[in-house]
Structure 1
């Protein structure tokens, strides 16, 4: 079985929204979650972001798909940049969250499958893309 996970990357003022404590309290994560049966990736992204962050996704852009195996389970992560949203992001599920400077992100603080995303965000902060 292959679990599919939609992940949203929210950026404002060269900072990225991250949460801590969802599964492991010492690991930072981007908001998102698994697709439900017969759910498409965009719907899952919007649903998960609303459930976790309390905002309505108005516009998103697909960035990258990453496949990996964890505990003999195949997982595919779909990363999206959330370009426009309605509402003010906060943790609806009570997890600790912060807006972290992209240049100060460290791959070692995130799940291993996020390392390419972290590297890109650090480069983007230098180029001031966001």
Structure 2
């Protein structure tokens, strides 16, 4: 998952609907078979929001036992292009101190708490 931050202290979120339920998440997706994690990050952000990552750092990983998956989060420090929806999802820049008011999948809350503690943006 890519944590894109702008200088105006906001982070990019994607709205997703599942089973008539709306929630927000960070842009990104699944690693394809035989794909390196970093290549997956770059591919997913290009496919979803049309940006090319220029600089990033690993932020956090978390295991979500319910779905038997591991999520990796990266701080995207610099990118080329303008972030826009390429797959029909609603995207929104949200102030970091407003993240707590959005409905996220359970696996994202640890990362959101860390972002608030370190004053990510």
Q: What is the TM-score normalised by the length of structure 1?
A: 0.84
> Once superposed, what is the RMSD of the aligned Cα atoms?
1.7
CA contact (8 A) 2:3 2:74 kept: yes
CA contact (8 A) 2:57 2:77 kept: yes
Gaps of 5+ in 2: none
Give me the whole-angstrom Cα distance separating, in 2, the residues matched to 1:107 and 1:69. Answer: 25
Give the structure 2 partner of residue 109 of structure 1: 103
Deviating above 4 A after TM superposition, structure 1's stretches of 4 or more consecutive aligned residues are 22-25
Alignment length (residue pairs): 119
Give the structure 2 partner of residue 97 of structure 1: 91
Give the structure 2 partner of residue 14 of structure 1: 9
1:119 aligned residue (85, 103, 113): 113
Gaps of 5+ in 1: 1-6
Give the structure 1 partner of residue 38 of structure 2: 42
Give the structure 1 partner of residue 56 of structure 2: 60
How far off its partner does 1:112 sit?
0.7
Give me the whole-angstrom Cα distance separating, in 2, the residues matched to 1:107 and 1:34. Answer: 26
Give the structure 1 partner of residue 24 of structure 2: 28
Q: What is the TM-score normalised by the length of structure 2?
A: 0.90
Give me the whole-angstrom Cα distance separating, in 1, the residues matched to 2:39 and 2:53. Answer: 10
How far off its partner does 1:94 sit?
1.2
Is structure 2 residue 74 aligned with structure 1 residue 76?
no
